[in-house]
Amino acid sequence: MKKIIGLALLSLVFLVLAACSGSEPPTVETEPEAEVLLKTAVKESFVAGELLVKFKEPSKVKSVLSASGIKLSLKEDVYEASGMWLFKFDARLVKNDLSAMQDLARLVSKLPELSYAQPNYIYYSQAAFNPNDPLFPEQWNMEAIEMPLAWGNYTRGSRVNVAVIDTGKTDHNDLIWSTGIDMIRDAGNANDFNGRDTDPTDTICPFTLSSNGHGTHVAGIIAAQTNNRQHIAGINESVRLIPVRVLGSCFGTGTTADVLAGMRWAAGDPIRGLPRNTNPAKILNLSLGLNLGRGNSCEADDPAMRDTINALADRDIITVVAAGNEGIDAATTTPASCTRAITVGSFNKNGDLSSFSNFGSVVDIYGPGGDNDAKIKSTFPGFFGPTTADLMGTSMAAPHVTGVISLMLSFDPTYNDPDAIAFLLRFHSAIHTPMPSGACPTSCGGGKLNAAALLHELSF
């Protein structure tokens, strides 16, 4: 009698679910593109419409089900001798979240014929790769975005071209540079006294002026050679690193015209008097910003930057920009407020908003940028040869995002729409690795960068 009652109850469970669900599953109004992106932005923890069920009497599973008339599809035996079976049902009958599935499993587990039931969970590989670079243990930033898991679980594919729009390059034994350009028109500001040319070398300044070497530091975060027993580990050593020098003097300053020309050259566009870039960049990193001493915005004050970013985005070229270091809403700065740029704020070693970082709804995601107590270690020029330096700023946060995007493009070259990537970064981080509650005076925008989780999304 108990068996008959139990089987009837199991049938009733699914009849009730069917009745509650109606003939069609509930729908959510979304834009078509957003609907597709949301599916990739949520990390799955179980297989919808499947239950693992363990029967107390393994030998009688099929006969019991046959006699009961239960409308479940027997998908496979997990281990028949133990009575463990995998069943499939109409996934629309249960709300597609973990809590609802666990509630269903608990209800089914009460049946006298069963030892238990549970969702068919999704496990993730936990391999980690810790490089042998001697200063890697000091790179808290790589652990903070789960780079060891990303390196251990995902194989790089095609090579991705990344342009560092910055102070140029310096020779460094932990960096492999590709052909670049010096786009600084004014010979005095260039500090090399020859204006625009094909030599993007960063000029030598007193060591105390840390703006010299800024581009080298940024480049190291993206692409320092990894596991080579030298200095540090970069996020993606296989990128083609293109130095574009637009910031000159010893203070790292440059004009709008030079920055925009550098962006265009990096993208493969012709610039009068200069050879064309034969390896157009797919990603541009701009660890720079405009400070007018008052609130300014991309739309109102810098339409030239807006139009350039938009034109490149239309060609599937991604522009990653620093949110700025004024501790204000990034909506009042540029290029951080440019709609189609990927804007990056900074978090510190504790996972909080860095004391200097801009914030707000225009910030798509936050990367490690350090703070006074723990800065970001990366490649740097020194008086006596290549070395490293510890710097902080959203200038350091942005290249973390650039490096991870380069891994994403390497892993899946077809996933290259800048707007789609910005959407994924913003909503994935906001859902899975949000900034701490109250971290930002207003909205934080996106959440914190997690390389392993983002690459996992692309693996489905």
List the beta bridge partners of residue 347.
353, 368
Rounded Cα distance, 396 and 435, in Å: 18
Residue owning tokens 């590709």: 178
Rounded Cα distance, 173 and 95, in Å: 55
Which helix (H) or strand (E) segment holds residue 346: the answer is strand 342-347
Q: Which of the residues are catalytic?
A: 166, 214, 395
Rounded Cα distance, 305 and 324, in Å: 16
**DSSP classification of residue 82:** G
Among 390, 394, 366, CA closest to 378: 390
What sign does the CA torsion over 216, 222, 225, 227 have? positive
253: tokens are 């300053």
Residue type, 237: E
Among 118, 93, 144, CA closest to 374: 144
Rounded Cα distance, 155 and 299, in Å: 40
Please classify residue 443 by burial: count the beta carbons closer than 10 Å to its beta carbon, then call 0-12 exposed, 13-18 middle and 19+ buried: middle
Among 417, 424, 427, CA closest to 447: 427
